[in-house]
Amino acid sequence: MEGEASVNKLHTQIEIKPQGQEPPPPYSSVVDNSEMDIQPEGKLPFFKSRYRQRASDTWLISLLVILHLVAFITTTLFNYFSTGSVFFQPLSENPLLGPSASTLDKVGALRKAFLVQNHLNWRFFVCPWLHAGIIHFAINISCMIFIGIHLERDYGPLRIGVIYLLSAFFGSLVCSLFVRNNPVVTSSGALFGLLGTMLSGLIRNWKVYSSKGAALAALMTVLATNFLLGLLPYIDNFANIGAFISGLLLGFVLLLTPQIRQMSKNKAGLFECGVKHSKSTIKLKQKLALDRPILRSISLILFVILLSGCLVALFLGIDINHYCGWCRLIDCIPYKRWSCNDGPNTCEIMKSNSEMTLTCLYNGNTRVFPFTNISQARINDLCAMIC
């Protein structure tokens, strides 16, 4: 009897634990994020690459890249059939390794004579899709993808598409007030519009984002690179400046709060090292819900005033270069490898059986070309190159 009692007593001290069940962690908290589907973080990384996003979130930027590619291929083919031999002109003629000036004129570049004398206003809508060369295309499209994908994922394709198109058109309008007698393209203007939009989104949601210094550094790097590129021929920097202002104002008008999606744990994104945590998602909801109607109204009024002013100045035929002699240095810096001269170029032409000699009457430069059967537009390109 005593042995059985001891055995029963021993059995009562044994605790049976089910297999496969782990004890809960000593400090755990459960947060219900069903309303916003986000993690309880107080600030968001500006470039939220660690958010779960679908491929369809960037259909707008993909479409814009395809349209720019089609326009660039079309320009290249025009140049090939115009010259009859090459797709791109040499760097001595086009430092961006692109088409000739006459080809840019044919496909829709802006030039003072086209706007004042011929009133070819359709070029305002074609010029923002043109690139001055393969170097310009590669840099511009790469930056547009980098900036555009982030903006489209954060704010949606509709608002970014509206800002992109309006900034591109506004940049062409500003270009028309400064354009001279050299052909220019304004495809970089739409990119500067996105840069202005990115800056406005960062300023508007300053307390929401983290790593703002890194985001500003990235923005300034892209902006400075493309502005310096605009100092070369055939790219208009005034369109870039105008589109940047347009994108900044429209960003304050249309960009309210970023679209928040569920974070993917165990993944780190760009500019994410400074994410700060708060006690709950309540403060984040309050920050995202903030709006600034006064700032939005003022920005909209300023944009309408600037747009109306540019349209009136265009219809009146105002040329700001008559009032600002140094403004041309913002658009093109003269260098020995290219020319920023927009004056009339006159050359003396001498032809033999297989060669053509051009002599610039402006500076006396002479050059011999191993062909004779070319168009007058192509002769003007070569005359402009040596003058």
Q: What percentage of the chain has pLDDT greater than the value 90?
A: 39
Residue 222 has pLDDT above 50, yes or no: yes
- Region 10-35 average pLDDT: 46
| Mean pLDDT of all residues belonging to the chain | 79
- Region 37-51 average pLDDT: 51
Please tell me the predicted confidence (pLDDT) of residue 56: 54
Residue 45 has pLDDT above 70, yes or no: no
Looking at CATH, the fold of the domain delimited by 58-257+285-331 is given as: Rhomboid-like fold (1.20.1540)
Please tell me the predicted confidence (pLDDT) of residue 355: 84
What is the tens place of the pLDDT at every residue in 234-290? 999 999 999 999 999 999 999 876 655 443 343 333 344 344 444 444 455 454 444
Q: Where are the domains of the chain?
A: 58-257+285-331, 347-386
Q: Which amino acid is at 321?
A: N
Kindly write down the DSSP assignment for every residue of 116-185, as one continuous string.
HTS--TTHHHHGGG--SSHHHHHHHHHHHHHHHHHHHHHH-HHHHHHHHHHHHHHHHHHHHHH--SS-BB
What is the tens place of the pLDDT at every residue in 152-182? 988 899 999 999 999 999 999 999 999 988 8
Map residue 9 onto helix, strand or coil. helix
- Region 305-321 average pLDDT: 92
**Better-predicted residue by pLDDT, 369 or 341:** 369
